[in-house]
Chains A and B, each alone.
Chain A
C-alpha cells in the first residue's frame, strides 16, 4: 500500500514537471511563460525533497521559485509591447523569415537523436558505475573536514576549488550588470497590505538566512541558500518601494562584492604560506575557516543576486534623501 501510493505520487509528480516545462516553453505570451516557470520551480523543489536531497531543494526553492521568478517578471515588464498579438501561423516563421518544413524536420530529428544518445549514455553510466564509491570516500574523510554535513564538506573543503571558481563567475556577472549603467530609483511606495507583508516577511527572511548559514555545518543549508534568501529579502524591500534595500553604497558595495572570493583566496593563500597545499585547511581550524568563508560568500551572493534584480548600478542617495526617508518611516 505504501509503495503503491508513492509510485502514483511519483508518476503525478513527473507528469506535473514535464507538462509545466512544456507549457512554459510552448506559450507565446512571455508573462504566462514566466508564471509557469515559477510554478515549475516550486514543483521541482518538491521533487528534490522527494528525492531526499534537502540542500538542493533549499537552493531550488530560494533561487528557482522566488528569485528567478521575480527577476524574469521584472524583465518581462520592461519589454515593449509587440505590435501584433502573435499570428496563428507563427510557428512557421522565425523573425519574419519562413522556415522550410524540411529544415524543421531535420532539426527535430537531430535533437531526438541527441536526446536518445544522452539517455543511452546515462543508462549505461548508472548500470555500470560503482554506486557507493563516492559515498564511502566522503564518509571516511568527513571527520577531518571540519563539518558534519557531507554536502558542505564537499562544497567547502574537498572541492573548495570549484566553489572558489563559482564565486569568480558570480563576480564576472556583477561586472556585466554594473556595465548596464545606472538604474531607476525604484518602485512606487507600497499600499497598506503590501507594507504589512513586508514588515514581517523581511525580518523572517533575514533570520532564516542566518539560520541556514549556521545550520549548514551539520544539517542541510549553507552559504548559497542563505545568500539567496537574503537577496529575496532585498527584492521584497525594493518591490515595496523602499529606497534602502540593504545594498551598501559605493565603496562598501565593492567590498561586499569581492568579500566572498576575497576571503576564500585569503584563506587559501595563507594556508599555502604556512606550508600546506592550496586550500588544504588544517583539520583543527577547518570548521572555523569554513564558517568564515561561508559568511563572506553569503554576503557576496546576496549582493550579486540583489544587484541582478536591481538591474544596474544602484543610484547612491544624497544625504538629505536618506534622512527624509528615515523620517517618513518613523512617522
Chain B
C-alpha cells in the first residue's frame, strides 16, 4: 500500500511538472497564473499523499494553508484597480 502511495506521489509530481511546462511557456500572464493554480492543486495532492505515507498529520495542515493561500494569490492577480476617491 505504501508503494501505491509513493507511486501516486510520483504521478502527482509528474502532473505538476507538466503544469510547470505551461508556466514556463505561457504565452500570456493568464496562462501562467492558471498553471500556478495547477501547481497549487497538485501540491495539495502531493502533501496529502506524503502526510499519509510518512504518518505526519501536520502536512494536512500545510495542504490546507497552501490551498487557501493559492486562492489569495489568484485574488491578487485579478488586477483590481486602485482608487483615489475622496
Contacts and interface: CB of A to CB of B under 8 A. Distances in A.
Interface in A1-40: 1-2, 5-6, 8-9, 12-13, 15-16, 19-20, 23, 31-32, 35-36, 38-39
A185 B85 contact: yes
Interface in A176-204: 184-188, 190, 194, 197, 201, 204
Given A186-B82, A190-B80, A236-B72, A49 B9 contact: no
A12 B75 CA distance: 29
Given A32-B29, A42-B40, A185-B86, A5 B23 contact: no
Contacts of B80: 187-188, 190, 239-241
Interface stretch (A54-62, A128-136, A159-167, A261-269): A54-62
Contacts, number: 187
Given A9-B13, A66-B69, A236 B75 contact: yes
A317 B64 CA distance: 35
A50 B63 CA distance: 12
B10 A5 contact: yes
B interface majority secondary structure: helix
Contacts of A19: 20, 24
Contacts of A271: none
Contacts of A74: 76
Contact of B69 (A54, A61, A77, A188): A61
B68 interface: yes
B2 A2 contact: yes
Contacts of B83: 184-188, 241
Interface in B39-69: 39-40, 43, 46-47, 50-51, 54, 56-59, 61-62, 64-66, 68-69
Nearest to A56: B62
A311 to B, nearest CB: 10
A220 interface: yes
A299 interface: no
Given A6-B9, A232-B72, A208 B32 contact: no
A229 B57 CA distance: 19
Nearest to A317: B86
B35 A201 contact: no
B53 to A, nearest CB: 9
Contacts of A35: 23, 29, 32-33, 36, 77
Interface in A211-241: 212, 215, 219-221, 225, 229, 232, 235-236, 239-241
Contact of B65 (A62, A188, A239): A62
B58 A219 contact: yes
B36 A208 contact: no
Contacts of B29: 31-32, 35
Given A32-B26, A190-B80, A6 B6 contact: yes
B66 A42 contact: yes
A287 interface: no
Contacts of A186: 82-83
Nearest to B30: A35
A21 B77 CA distance: 20
Contacts of B36: 35, 38-39, 42
Given A1-B3, A35-B77, A188-B81, 4 more contacts: A16-B17, A46-B43, A65-B73, A187-B81
14 contacts: A6-B9, A12-B13, A32-B32, A39-B32, A49-B47, A50-B46, A52-B56, A58-B62, A73-B77, A77-B79, A187-B82, A201-B68, A229-B69, A232-B68
